[in-house]
């Protein structure tokens, strides 16, 4: 009706007026918006007449102007949206470098000039003397902490304000990946950590030594039968770690050196590497826009992977419950913990964090299998890197390799390798510690501010707000010469009994620190030690002809990947 049209016209005019006022600070935009209002009635009349109205009322020039205006306004507000965080650190009084509106402070990384880890290290050095600096990870502002004392305060003393990781997967939609321990938050994380603490206690990890060595000997036999004098050794460690995860986490006897066609191998590989371009795209989108992807209901883990791992868990537990067999793997221990059969006892390792209360909660199959699947997430890459870089450093440092061989021969004297004998190899422990110093399993450590916190310490005043991302570059911290002199030199003596007492607290954190530190760190180190003992006892490792020295990080890899690969010569002793 006429009255309704007048009412609609009045409403549109009011909205147009409000729009013009809101844009009046920008002269160009104001001019554009004013012309939209002038053109609106012409366009409406023209469309209502079905295009039959005289073009004197609505000519082609008006249509071009209208299109230009709409594009300009959309572009303006898109730009404003993308640059809304540009004053984030200025408002907080935090030193930072002005970001690009689209890719933040990552321009040198995206142009292939430097690796991501070394790029953050450049910022770490640039803001020498500052305790904290700002960094734009694409569109996301991140606080980076440089000061070890500040790490202690936020990661440990104020843990209740910085209790969570910033990763985001909705556990109600991604019922397996979203329920991994390192992704859980709040009370649920606390309860799951309490359940898992006895699973990864030293007594139970020790029981896995025989499983690990069985896989290690499979690797030794493969290397003895290999006709290639020179190998890209990461391919070897990938297969070995895959076998270890299959055996220790899922209770399977797998040998990928002989057969890679096993269903577990195929599903696990698709989980680690992605099984299609679509999966790769989803992973990238979750990294860049995690909340948007979750709101859209997108699941990172596909149905085939979820069904396989759930069936594997249920079938294994069903079979175990019918027998008295007690295989010391994670599935068995999780099943016992869920039934309340594992007790949280005082651990013999004072450096291992335990939760003070034991969770009585019963977990679903999805929540349990998520802890096994997490070996393919946080555990897989860290363990592969630890083994790959340890062998690389031993090959490049023959004096260290010979000293390690002498300790192994003297301690074991051709006897069997046990958890107790491993604990007697002090130089081996030094080698692994120095590898983790130079090539940390987790080169970055993050926290998300879970509730507002006002920092006021030694003249530094800063308000952290809920949702703020706070990171530590472990890579840069470990390569700061004030913490570790000659940081690029591989020197296990830093971790001798006398020297490690002089290491400044919170400057060495390859597995993180505080309650959120990696719960599987002793398992990872045990795998590394057993594997290195079997390797050095049987082979002499030397740099391959294709190995790029000195070792440099690849500029096109997001992780720790040496330029040219891990090329080694393997000579049987």
Per-residue pLDDT, 383? 95
Does an H or E element contain 102, and which?
Answer: none
Cβ neighbours of residue 293 closer than 8 Å, sequence gap 6 or more = 282, 285, 286, 300
Q: How far apart are CA 306 and CA 465, in angstroms?
A: 36
Does an H or E element contain 448, and which?
Answer: strand 444-448
Does an H or E element contain 90, and which?
Answer: helix 88-92
Q: Are 449 and 92 in contact (CB under 8 A)?
A: no
What angle separates helix 186-196 from helix 365-374, to the nearest 10 degrees?
A: 70
Distance (Å) of CA 36 to CA 183, 278, 475: 48, 41, 54
Q: How far apart are CA 80 and CA 285, in angstroms?
A: 21
Per-residue pLDDT, 217? 95
Query: What are the tens digits of pLDDT across the range 409-430?
Result: 999 876 678 899 999 999 999 9
Q: Flag whether pLDDT at 476 surpasses 50.
A: yes
Q: Which segment, 17-21, 203-207, 291-295, 342-346, is predicted with the most confidence on average?
A: 203-207
Q: Are 188 and 346 in contact (CB under 8 A)?
A: no
Q: How far apart are CA 507 and CA 150, in angstroms?
A: 11
Q: Are 378 and 196 in contact (CB under 8 A)?
A: no
Cβ neighbours of residue 125 closer than 8 Å, sequence gap 6 or more = 476
- Residues marked as binding for heme? 518
- What is the model's pTM? 0.84
Per-residue pLDDT, 277? 76
Confidence of residue 80 (pLDDT cuts 50, 70, 90): low
Per-residue pLDDT, 281? 80
Please report which residue ranges of 163-262 form alpha helices under DSSP H.
186-196, 202-207, 209-225, 233-248
Q: Are 373 and 379 in contact (CB under 8 A)?
A: no
Quick one: average pLDDT of 184-195?
A: 91
Give the other-Cβ count within 10 Å of 437's Cβ.
25
Q: How far apart are CA 196 and CA 520, in angstroms?
A: 10
Confidence of residue 314 (pLDDT cuts 50, 70, 90): very high
Task: Tell me where in the chain the CATH 1.10.630.10 domain(s) lie.
Answer: 151-346+368-572
Query: What are the tens digits of pLDDT across the range 381-393?
Result: 999 999 999 999 9
**Higher pLDDT residue, 132 or 295?**
132
Quick one: average pLDDT of 62-76?
A: 76
Angle value at C-alpha 164, between 96 and 278, nearest 5 degrees: 85
Q: Are 16 and 37 in contact (CB under 8 A)?
A: yes
Architecture of the domain whose range is 151-346+368-572: Orthogonal Bundle (1.10)
Per-residue pLDDT, 558? 80
Q: How far apart are CA 219 and CA 239, in angstroms?
A: 8
Please report which residue ranges of 417-546 form alpha helices under DSSP H.
419-423, 426-438, 474-478, 521-538
Per-residue pLDDT, 354? 56
Q: Is the dihedral of CA 419, 423, 425, 430 positive or negative?
A: positive
**Higher pLDDT residue, 550 or 48?**
550
Burial 139-158 (b: 16+ CB within 10 A, else e): bebbbbbbbbebbebbbeeb
Helix/strand/coil (H/E/C) assignment for every residue in 223-246: HHHCCCCEEEHHHHHHHHHHHHHH
Q: Are 524 and 440 in contact (CB under 8 A)?
A: no
**Higher pLDDT residue, 101 or 495?**
495
Does an H or E element contain 462, and which?
Answer: strand 460-464
Cβ neighbours of residue 36 closer than 8 Å, sequence gap 6 or more = 16, 66, 69, 70, 73
Q: Flag whether pLDDT at 24 surpasses 70.
A: no
- Pick from 255, 223, 215: which is nearest to 568 by CA? 223
Query: What are the tens digits of pLDDT across the range 210-257?
Result: 999 999 999 999 999 987 889 999 999 999 999 999 999 999 999 999
Quick one: average pLDDT of 249-278?
A: 87
Per-residue pLDDT, 417? 86
- Average pLDDT value for the chain: 85
Q: Flag whether pLDDT at 464 surpasses 60.
A: yes
Total count of residues recorded for the chain: 573
Cβ neighbours of residue 411 closer than 8 Å, sequence gap 6 or more = 421, 424, 425
Quick one: average pLDDT of 542-570?
A: 91
Confidence of residue 478 (pLDDT cuts 50, 70, 90): very high
- Residues marked as binding? 518
- Pick from 390, 396, 394, 426: which is nearest to 408 by CA? 426
Q: Are 493 and 499 in contact (CB under 8 A)?
A: yes
Q: Which segment, 30-39, 62-71, 131-140, 353-362, is predicted with the most confidence on average?
A: 131-140
Q: How far apart are CA 192 and CA 183, in angstroms?
A: 11
Give the other-Cβ count within 10 Å of 205's Cβ.
24
Q: Are 127 and 133 in contact (CB under 8 A)?
A: yes
Counting DSSP H helices and E strands in the chain, the numbers are 23, 9
Distance (Å) of CA 311 to CA 250, 264, 315, 366: 12, 12, 6, 10
Q: How far apart are CA 124 and CA 548, in angstroms?
A: 26
Per-residue DSSP letter, 183: G
Per-residue pLDDT, 1? 53
Helix/strand/coil (H/E/C) assignment for every residue in 25-86: CCHHHHHHHHHHHHHHHHHHHHHHCCCCCCCCCCCHHHHHHHHHHHHHHHHHHHHHHHCCCC
Per-residue pLDDT, 6? 52
Q: How far apart are CA 26 and CA 529, in angstroms?
A: 65
């Amino acid at each position: 009706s006429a009255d309704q049209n007048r009412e609609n016209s009045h409403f549109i005019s009011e909205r147009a007026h409000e729009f013009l006022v809101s844009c009046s600070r920008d002269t160009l935009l104001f001019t554009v918006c004013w012309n939209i209002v002038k053109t609106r009635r012409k366009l409406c009349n023209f469309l209502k007449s079905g295009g039959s109205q005289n073009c004197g009322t609505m000519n082609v020039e008006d249509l071009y102007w209208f299109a230009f205006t709409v594009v300009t306004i959309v572009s303006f507000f898109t730009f404003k949206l993308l640059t809304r965080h540009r004053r984030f650190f200025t408002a907080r009084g935090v030193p930072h470098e002005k970001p690009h509106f689209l890719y933040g402070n990552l321009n040198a990384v995206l142009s292939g000039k430097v690796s991501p880890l070394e790029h953050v290290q450049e910022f770490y050095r640039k803001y020498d003397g500052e305790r904290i600096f700002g960094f734009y990870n694409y569109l996301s502002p991140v606080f980076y902490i440089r000061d070890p004392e500040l790490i202690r305060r936020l990661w440990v003393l104020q843990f209740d304000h910085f209790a969570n990781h910033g990763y985001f997967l909705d556990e109600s939609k991604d019922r397996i990946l979203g329920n991994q321990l390192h992704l859980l938050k709040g009370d649920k994380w606390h309860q799951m950590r309490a359940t898992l603490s006895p699973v990864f206690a030293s007594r139970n990890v020790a029981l896995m030594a025989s499983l690990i060595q069985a896989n290690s000997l499979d690797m030794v036999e493969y290397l003895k039968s290999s006709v290639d004098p020179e190998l890209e050794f990461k391919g070897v460690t990938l297969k070995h770690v895959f076998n270890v995860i299959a055996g220790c986490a899922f209770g399977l006897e797998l040998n990928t050196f002989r057969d890679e066609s096993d269903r577990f191998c195929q599903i696990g590989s698709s989980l680690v590497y992605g099984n299609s371009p679509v999966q790769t795209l989803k992973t990238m989108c979750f990294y860049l826009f995690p909340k948007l992807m979750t709101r859209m209901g997108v699941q990172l883990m596909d149905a085939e992977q979820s069904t396989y791992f759930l069936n594997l868990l249920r079938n294994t537990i069903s079979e175990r419950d019918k027998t008295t067999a007690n295989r010391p793997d994670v599935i068995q221990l999780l099943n016992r913990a869920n039934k309340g059969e594992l007790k949280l006892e005082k651990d013999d390792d004072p450096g291992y964090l335990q939760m003070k209360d034991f969770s009585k909660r019963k977990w679903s199959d999805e929540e349990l299998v998520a802890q096994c699947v997490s070996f393919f997430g946080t555990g897989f890459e860290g363990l592969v890197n630890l083994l790959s870089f340890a062998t690389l450093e031993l090959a490049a440092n023959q004096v260290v390799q010979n000293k390690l061989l002498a300790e192994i021969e003297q301690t074991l004297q051709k006897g069997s390798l046990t958890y107790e004998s491993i604990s007697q190899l002090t130089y081996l422990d030094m080698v692994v510690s120095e590898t983790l110093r130079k090539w940390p399993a987790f080169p970055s450590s993050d926290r998300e501010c879970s509730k507002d916190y006002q920092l006021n310490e030694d003249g530094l005043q800063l308000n952290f707000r809920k949702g703020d991302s706070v990171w530590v570059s472990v890579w840069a911290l470990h390569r700061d010469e004030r913490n570790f002199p000659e940081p690029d030199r591989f020197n296990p003596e830093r971790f001798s009994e006398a020297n490690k007492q002089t290491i400044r607290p919170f400057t060495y954190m390859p597995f993180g620190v505080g309650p959120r530190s990696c719960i599987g760190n002793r398992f990872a180190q045990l795998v590394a030690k057993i594997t290195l003992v079997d390797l050095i006892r049987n082979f002499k490792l030397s740099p391959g002809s294709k190995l790029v020295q000195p070792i440099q990080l690849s500029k096109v890899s997001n992780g720790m990947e040496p330029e040219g690969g891990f090329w080694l010569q393997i000579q049987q002793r």
